[in-house]
Amino acid sequence: LLAEVTANPRDLSSMKQVTIGGAACPPSLMEAYDKLGVRLCHAWGMTETSPLGTMAHPPAGLSAEEEWPYRVTQGRFPAGVEARLVGPGGERLPWDGESAGELEVRGAWIAGAYYGGAGGEELRPADKFSEDGWLKTGDVGVISPDGYLTLTDRAKDVIKSGGEWISSVELENALMAHPEVAEAAVVAVPDDKWGERPLATVVLREGATADYAVLRAFLAERIAKWQLPERWALVPAVPKTSVGKFDKKVIRRQYADGELDVTEL
């Protein structure tokens, strides 16, 4: 849509706000729409949360610059939604904006079970619900002391490298900030030394000249050196699910089957 309204400008003054959920919105996309006078607002939710879980409305009375750190989060939980972060060992983590864990929620409109079948029995599979009834969202993130959620990845997509977690979403957002990158998806691939390492698959814009070394140097200015991908592949398009999310299981299968032309730096 951004490419369309950039190539063919039109009056967007009636569009005050667009709410984006389903996947984290790259900050570069938010900034581009700001220039068009359209405000993008992050939200998070699931079918099981009916569906709203958070909205990224900044506190009142802030300047545009002061609002920005709040806008790039997934937002605050409304009254009625309780949230907690749980570490790999089941430990409760603090809301300090730094401790990353799996998000669990509960509330009056949050699912407490799944309908099981003709008999009407309820199912509470252990991978979906905690023993005390919280919904395990499968999302990994941090929560600030003032209650703003920032999702860093899906639990199944976190890259576990040498005992540390690397956020595929953070790498993707950083890559898509490059002016010659149209899309980028990052997945974990097996590595003999570190267990897993990131593979960056990139869709370049038409006429782009950036190569892998240029993109890696661009990333090096924005993320820690140990998180930089060594494996790169150009793709014509990032595979997506029926609702438009990056379909990372397809990328992992393509890598495993040798279908990607991978370059190692």
The predicted-structure confidence for 153-181, as pLDDT tens digits, reads as follows 888 888 989 988 899 999 999 999 999 99
Q: Based on the number of CB atoms within 10 Å of its own CB, is 251 exposed (0-12), middle (13-18) or buried (19 or more)?
A: buried
Q: Are 187 and 207 in contact (CB under 8 A)?
A: no
For residues 165 and 230, state if they share a domain: yes
Q: Of 56, 76, 96, which residue sits at a domain end?
A: 76
Can you give the CATH number for the domain in which 237 is found? 3.30.300.30
The pLDDT of residue 146 is 96
- Total domain count for the chain? 3
The sheet carrying 52-55 orders its strands as: 17-20, 39-45, 52-55, 75-76, 148-154, 135-143, 101-107, 81-86, 92-93
Q: What is the mean pLDDT of residues 138-161?
A: 92
- Residue 228 phi/psi, 5-degree rounding, is -65, 130
Residue 226 lies in a domain: yes
Summarised one tens digit per residue, pLDDT across range 187-213 is 999 999 999 999 999 999 999 999 999
Residue 261 lies in a domain: no
Helix axes of 168-176 and 27-35: crossing angle, nearest 10 degrees: 40
Can you give the CATH number for the domain in which 108 is found? 2.30.38.10
Q: What is the mean pLDDT of residues 222-245?
A: 93
Q: Which domain holds residue 222?
A: 159-255
For residues 115 and 167, state if they share a domain: no
Residue 36 lies in a domain: yes
Nearest of 100, 251, 228, 246 to residue 174 by alpha carbon = 228
Summarised one tens digit per residue, pLDDT across range 25-73 is 888 899 999 999 999 999 999 999 999 999 999 999 999 999 999 999 9
